[in-house]
Structure 1
Amino acid sequence: MTNPRVHEIATAMLDAVRKVLVQQEVTEAEYRAGVMYMMQVAEAKEMGLLCDVFLNSTIVEIKAAATRGSAPAIQGPYFKEEAPFVDGKLKTYDSDDHKPLLLHGSVKDEAGRVVTDAVIDIWHSTPDGRYSGFGGYHGDMPVDYYRGKVRTDAQGRWRVQTTLPAPYQIPNKGPTGALLTMMGSHTWRPAHVHFKVRKDGFEALTTQYYFEGGEWVDSDCCNGVKPELVMPAAMEQGMQAMALDFVIEKSRA
């Protein structure tokens, strides 16, 4: 059964690729090398990684242009729906150097009304760039570390304490890392904290925030950093702090 939307998008993408092949006068040898590269991406199970590195930020830009709420950002591959609710603090490893980070703020709708009982997923890497709930490179860390859910209170406020994340490299030993290197780029992401804000009747907000002056903020390999997502350094109660007042939109459905 024909899907008109799939037909429209796939045809436009193929036309764009064919145009580039002609403009760049790609040789048969270069074409075959490209096909072999895509086979290597599939064999390495990096198709999702490759797409997120090069294309996810464009999808976010499309969404940002249409939103009246807070700036969205790339989700990345490390969100886990089953993260637990936490009471004021994310669980961290004892081996963490425990540089404290205080995260707090509010959730309101586009008219400025507080949104109570909104659920906020918060997740970030360990200081050595690993994410919980994933095996292999990430070391089989339990899913309840460095991530958790909180709810907004009667004033729409939320608050949680954790530890400072650090910059890290995306998987860089496979074909995605090789392509970035050949393009003269790198495989580093700046330190950041992820958020997903949800409430029935509202559009979900997926975003992440970065630290002003942080390493790689000006050259994120995933092109995910926008000025409005970079937070100035601030201290509260002897801790580095990030104050974030989220605005979410009523559902369009």
Structure 2
Amino acid sequence: MNERVKQVASALVDAIQKTLTEQRVTEEEWRAGIDYMMKLAEAKEMAVLLDTFFSHTIVDLKAQATRGSRPAIQGPYFLEGAPVVAGALKTYEDDSHHPLVIRGTVRTDDGAPAAGAVIDVWHSTPDGKYSGVHDQIPTDLYRGKVVADAQGKYAVRTTMPAPYQIPTKGPTGVLLEMMGSHTWRPAHVHFKVRKDGFVPLTTQYYFEGGDWVDSDCCKGVAPELVMPVKTEGGAQVMAIDFVIERPREHA
């Protein structure tokens, strides 16, 4: 028996049973709920639903204890094995979105430069899709790895992402609309920062003044993750410094 699984699963079952009783859920409603879960599985949207409604809670708990940068939800579209890029992510040849430069420094929790840290960067296509996941878009588009230099500095060029919707015809989007919520996510860029001997940092950053920043349907936005964007040399520039932490020693 796993005591931790027993503890969490029992609490979850108790909470569901309490809700069923307090809301006086009918058998017809219960059967509709079962049908919904079957549709969720068929649509392969379980990860989407969990990210939409629950992942931000886990991340908020983690953020309370971190000594590093503010974490954020990973989202369901991270892929291992993205190519190492030298200066720029590969984009559509006809991508007309505004150029975006992301740059900054990676440091450790004692302030030292994190030389050689590897930063996975990924974001949506201009039409809100993710490479390697949707519509057979080649995996090497709009995602890649950037390596920090000896001073911990990094820079990568791409194009501005756009806001996009959780699929409105899928089970998650249907549930959001039935609950009176919209299905939009604000434009954002994902990051996963890794270096041997340090806790991986998974986060995402948003654009100050962007649409839906104040009402993300996934509740993933925190004030620390909203960045001002400047214009330099015809490109938008987002400056992001990361801090990664060493594992905590447990007594």
State TM-score, norm by structure 2: 0.96
**C-alpha deviation, 1:25, in angstroms:** 1.8
Partner of 1:232: 228
Q: Distance in 2 between matches of 1:151 and 1:251?
A: 21
**C-alpha deviation, 1:20, in angstroms:** 1.3
Contact 1:205–1:248, Cα closer than 8 Å, also in 2 = yes
Partner of 1:190: 186
| 1:175 is the counterpart of 2:174 | no
Partner of 2:68: 69
Structure 1 outlier segments of 4+, above 6 Å: none
Q: Distance in 2 between matches of 1:122 and 1:62?
A: 24
Deviations 1:226-246 (A, max 9, x none): 111001121223311110110
**C-alpha RMSD of matched pairs (Å):** 1.1
Q: Distance in 2 between matches of 1:108 and 1:247?
A: 5
Q: Distance in 2 between matches of 1:45 and 1:108?
A: 38
Number of aligned residues: 249
Deviations 1:186-207 (A, max 9, x none): 1111100000000000000000
SS in 2 for 1:38: helix
Q: Which stretch shifts more, 17-26 or 159-168?
A: 17-26
Partner of 1:147: 143
Task: Mark the runs of 5 or more structure 2 residues left unpaired by the alignment.
Answer: none
Contact 1:91–1:146, Cα closer than 8 Å, also in 2 = yes
Partner of 1:25: 24
Contact 1:233–1:240, Cα closer than 8 Å, also in 2 = yes
Partner of 1:5: 4
Amino acid at match of 1:193: V
Identical aligned residues as a percent: 65
Contact 1:203–1:252, Cα closer than 8 Å, also in 2 = no
Task: Mark the runs of 5 or more structure 1 residues left unpaired by the alignment.
Answer: none
Partner of 2:44: 45
Partner of 1:246: 242
Q: Which stretch shifts more, 18-27 or 209-218?
A: 18-27
**C-alpha deviation, 1:251, in angstroms:** 2.1
Which aligned pairs between 1:32-181 and structure 2 lie closer than 5 A? 32-134=31-133, 138-181=134-177
Q: Distance in 1 between matches of 2:164 and 2:71?
A: 21
Q: Which stretch shifts more, 91-100 or 22-31?
A: 22-31
Amino acid at match of 1:236: E
**C-alpha deviation, 1:26, in angstroms:** 1.7
Q: Distance in 1 between matches of 2:78 and 2:188?
A: 14
**C-alpha deviation, 1:73, in angstroms:** 0.4
**C-alpha deviation, 1:43, in angstroms:** 2.1
Q: Distance in 2 between matches of 1:154 and 1:43?
A: 48
Deviations 1:81-121 (A, max 9, x none): 11000000111111211410010000111111111000000
Contact 1:115–1:152, Cα closer than 8 Å, also in 2 = yes
**C-alpha deviation, 1:157, in angstroms:** 0.3
Contact 1:123–1:195, Cα closer than 8 Å, also in 2 = yes
Partner of 1:209: 205
Q: Distance in 2 between matches of 1:92 and 1:43?
A: 31
Q: Distance in 2 between matches of 1:79 and 1:239?
A: 26
Contact 1:88–1:160, Cα closer than 8 Å, also in 2 = yes
State TM-score, norm by structure 1: 0.95
SS in 2 for 1:64: helix
SS in 1 for 2:240: strand
Contact 2:166–2:172, Cα closer than 8 Å, also in 1 = no
